[in-house]
Chain A
């Protein structure tokens, strides 16, 4: 599988957890390191960056200059609290304490940034822009990691983990709804494009959904063929691998020629919106990228049926179709859902590039932002795409957990 690394933020602490456990002894050394990094960032780096207007680049402002001493003290106390919880004896209550402090720190950091932006707006007027600084990102990422790490130590239950994500996400959403974050440059960019934003999100989902509608049936068929016809396996996977290695920009470019020629020959296609640029080539390209993970997942899933079970099924008089539908597919479900998750996350990320050929989607903000050197517009597109991918990842992870318990318990 190609982009395991691009998968999700959630999987990193899960992978790290056993290692932490075995090496831990009494404290959580990785968390100590992270808290140290957070403290150093708060002291040495800008918490927000303030610019006189949208286009000029900002100057970093440290935490204690950006907000009142009381707010600084609260945030510093939370970071120290996280540090203390990291050196406590290993135990479930320690992890609970870490989780609570980390969640509060994460929300408080966001609130502090919003507050800093409001102060700037009061002092320098509405044209001034407040962006998020390096210290903000380090503290937010650090507390997010601490939360994910503690949560995965506490429970393997996907649904509980989802509730944790919902609580933290809900708290930040509440802050945003109350207007506490509206003076942040990021929120201003969003406010200026409210209509465009929702239509580009829908557009993004359409691109991913359209590509899935193509990649899932075709990829499944190819996966089934590679499973049933070992002779074709090598050639088919070689072709699919080749497609994966072509850079996405190149595929979009390569499709422009043939598709515009096609719509030139058949003008009806153009009225349907199919041409060298726009959604059609983007969906085709994304479909092509989706084929390999889908086909490989289907192949791996079907090939994972235990040989003894296959032999028994055949020996008792199942025909090949009954073996497929009653035995192989039900047993492959966890693998199939996992590869679906991979494909959805991967395509959500790739669809960003589709904006380059006029297909729209969240990538549109990123490329507009690049054109205007408006960092926060870039951030708006990127953060939204990440949030979409994470949401899809979390949802399909729960589905995978559900079918796994269904299959084995």
Chain B
């Protein structure tokens, strides 16, 4: 668990991070979002002490980060940045082995780990191990960047706009890969992004920062359903907000399980946007729903897709 406790960072008279407190539970993905200059990156760099706070503390699993040597601390925290920053004079294998080498792992353990990680990020070890970074596409480079960050099996992964420089298709693939990796490894991930769709897609916890202050934090659904103010509302999508809300709400939450109708049922665990798409394309106002977990049937009505009372889910 990562606890940011009243963190403040000033540059001259400008406050970059202002009394920011936030708790990221172990095993969750927390997205720091907001306009540029809002203090997202500074906050991230305060966690691994690339920047030292003027006030406040960072607690990592209860230990004050300030009590650890910065270099040792960073070797136990994964770090991925937008420009990837692979070492151009080293091949892929040596890049991935960076932190294990720093930690003095045994040669054969490192070799095994390199292959394992290349598999994990979806690159064939045999054909990618010996390549130089300039021989890889942007997406492949960032896959290696993620593998490098995970090399020493850190519990915490910090990512600063990791997919910001990639084209939409590549970004999509890497987001799915990251979700898959997180599901398999249970890492705690803090990710900085200015892309609200990326935050909604990846994060279980979104923290909206503006002017160095934490404006609102909560699940994607919370933020979309109940934005705390006009800034958050504008940021989470303005006119798109309702459509995005559909993407984070499951069919089961709006299904009337007391009633069942005929037809091919839709899974209760898919999101509402998929159900709505089906209604739009088939002309149906009601869809049969099957709840696999409880082995029961229900009905989803078009009218129930809307927010109740205009706000509550």
Contacts and interface: CB of A to CB of B under 8 A. Distances in A.
A312 B89 contact: no
Interface residues of B, number: 27
A313 B98 CA distance: 9
A154 to B, nearest CB: 26
Interface stretch (B80-88, B120-128, B169-177, B266-274): B80-88
Contacts of A318: 71, 102
B98 A314 contact: no
A404 to B, nearest CB: 11
Interface stretch (A100-108, A174-182, A303-311): A303-311
Contact of B75 (A306, A310, A316, A408): A316
Contact of A407 (B50, B82, B88): B88
Contacts of A316: 74-75, 79, 98-99, 102, 148-149
A317 B88 contact: no
B84 A308 contact: yes
Interface of A: 306-319, 322, 327, 330-331, 407-409
B132 A315 contact: no
Nearest to B84: A308
Contacts of A409: 132
Given A314-B74, A315-B81, A408-B132, 18 more contacts: A309-B87, A311-B81, A311-B85, A312-B81, A312-B84, A313-B87, A314-B50, A316-B75, A316-B79, A316-B98, A316-B148, A317-B74, A317-B75, A318-B71, A319-B71, A331-B88, A407-B88, A407-B89
A327 B85 CA distance: 11
A308 B83 CA distance: 6
A175 to B, nearest CB: 45
A315 B75 CA distance: 8
30 contacts: A306-B85, A306-B88, A308-B84, A308-B85, A309-B85, A309-B86, A309-B87, A310-B85, A311-B81, A311-B83, A312-B84, A312-B85, A312-B87, A314-B74, A315-B48, A315-B74, A315-B81, A315-B158, A316-B148, A317-B73, A317-B76, A317-B102, A318-B71, A319-B71, A330-B89, A331-B88, A331-B89, A407-B89, A408-B88, A409-B132
Nearest to A333: B89
Contacts of B134: 408
A307 B73 CA distance: 21
Nearest to B45: A315
- Interface majority SS (helix, strand, loop, mixed), chain B: mixed
A408 B76 CA distance: 30
Contacts of A306: 83, 85, 88
Contact of A312 (B75, B76, B79, B132): B79
Interface in B96-131: 98-99, 102
A308 B74 contact: no
A329 B288 CA distance: 66
A142 to B, nearest CB: 41
A322 B71 CA distance: 11
B228 interface: no
B117 to A, nearest CB: 14
A350 B50 CA distance: 47
A315 B89 contact: no
Most buried by A among B87, B99, B149: B87
B204 to A, nearest CB: 24
A207 B148 CA distance: 49
A313 B87 CA distance: 8
B160 to A, nearest CB: 9
